[in-house]
Copies of this chain bind each other. A is one copy, B any other.
Amino acid sequence: MAPRLSARGHAVPASPIRTLVPLGDQARARGLRVLHLNIGQPDIETPEPMRRRIASLHEKVYAYTPSGGTAEYLAALREYYRRLGFSLGPDEILGTTGGSEALFFALAAVGDHGDEVIVVEPYYTNYSAFATLAGLRLVPLTSRGEDGFHLPPRAAWEKALTPRTRAVILCNPSNPTGTVYTQEEVDRVAGFCRDHGLFLISDEVYREFAYDGRAAVSALSLKAADDMVIVVDSLSKRYSACGIRLGCLVTRNRDVYGAALRMAQARLSPPGLAQVAACALTELGPDYTRGIVTEFQARRDMLYEAVSAVPGVFLRKPEGAFYFVARLPVQDAEDFARWMLTDFQHDGCTVMVAPARGFYATPGLGHDEVRIAYVLERGALSKAVKALAAGLEQYRTAPHSAARLTAAAAPTTTT
């Protein structure tokens, strides 16, 4: 008798950010240059001080570290937060294996099987996978491209509430939309959480990436919110160190910290070599961050202008992070994304984008949208937009493609 996969095993979704990878490999095998707009892997160098720590490592035993991270790593994180204006005790911050693990620990700490977590869609698609693993249901609140993906009014939040609601996840600045929520918006969410006894899981891994003079509001700055706030953070984007897999969970709620620490003990420690590199973050001050953010803002400017100019494409100007969601003049953005890799080339290049359907929980939404990440230097981005525009043109006019067209890309077709 053959054993059977669990229902959960069936339900864990494939990553829409990564499922096109094999088609990209095939395109490369055919000699094409594949420009990746699908994944948040910046081309920026990991800071030299971090690489220097690795090069000069003299440890002879790569030993377990404390479950919550080494004293040095935690001290570096506390110093980073101190510079942001947040004073954190040693038992309020826990080192994790990327922001991913911090998110999973947070979900496991706030909900039991069948409980619900409200999330604004489109949302970072891996929230779905972690919720599935934890046995939780994500309840989506739809935000709209026409509104720049800003938050729905309080009434919509109330409508999403059930007796099983345990938490809200807010990603600010938002992956995938690039929206930076205002103080009023964050206060609205916090008020909703407070009024209903919900946790606020605040994913702040893009904290510094806010443009045009904006500043992202950290949930740590909220008044009288110590009991309810769990911040998920990561070094991946801030220091272009995605591959080391290191992040942290920050909370002043004693029960949540204790539970997260016990979860952390189960997996023994966060990656040790990563922690060695990470300790250099104290050498990276406002100048480092300003340089990075200036570069990403320039890329955003360039890409926003170029993508907006493509006939039939709709988007509002992104405000932060290094992503946006754009509506394309196609029926099925996933089909288009595949076609770009299998049937198209432009000057020896093609482009990989992430179909946005996987960023929505509501069926039928996002079918004509893609998430675009601007993590390449401007020359490559410029090439990528040209290829994208040529691809859209060719895809729409190809003889077999009548069924692939929307009647129009008017704003109202999204919802």
Report A's interface with B, CB cutoff 8 A: 1-10, 12-15, 17-19, 21, 39, 41-46, 50-51, 54-55, 57, 59-67, 97-98, 100-101, 104, 108-115, 126, 129-130, 133-135, 166-167, 193-199, 227-228, 240-245, 253, 255-256, 259, 262-263, 265-274, 277
Residue of B nearest to A125 (CB): B266
Contact yes or no, B54 A57, CB < 8 A: yes
Contact A277 B1 (CB under 8 A): no
CB atoms of B15 and A62 under 8 A apart:
no
Residues of B within 8 A of A130 (CB): 266
Q: Please tell me which one of the listed residues B3, B104, B112, B199 contacts residue A110 in the complex, with CB atoms under 8 A apart.
A: B3
Name the contact of A259 in the complex, choosing from B10, B100, B241, B274 (C-beta under 8 A).
B10
Give chain B residues whose Cβ lies under 8 Å from the Cβ of A66.
21
Tell me the number of copies of this protein: 2
A261, chain B: closest CB distance, angstroms: 8
A contact patch SS: loop
Contact across chains for B61 and A100 when beta carbons are under 8 A apart: no
Point out which of A3, A5, A110, A194 has the most chain B C-beta atoms below 10 A from its C-beta.
A3
* Contact, CB under 8 Å: B111 / A265: no
Tell me the minimal C-beta distance from A177 to chain B in angstroms.
20
Across the interface, A15 reaches (CB within 8 A) one of B54, B67, B193, namely B67
Instruction: Chain B residues near A61: list those with CB within 8 A.
Output: 42-46, 240, 243
A243 touches B269 (CB 8 A): yes
Contacts of A3 in B (CB 8 A): 110, 166-167, 193, 197-199, 227-228, 253
Once bound together, how far apart are the Cα atoms of A61 and B193, in whole Å?
39
Choose one: B5, B9, B18, B63; the contact of A242 (CB below 8 Å). Answer: B63
Q: Smallest CB–CB gap between A387 and chain B, Å?
A: 22
Q: List 20 A-B contacts (CB under 8 A).
A: A3-B253, A5-B253, A8-B109, A8-B112, A9-B108, A10-B259, A12-B108, A12-B262, A14-B265, A15-B262, A51-B59, A54-B273, A62-B240, A113-B114, A126-B266, A129-B263, A129-B265, A243-B273, A244-B271, A245-B271
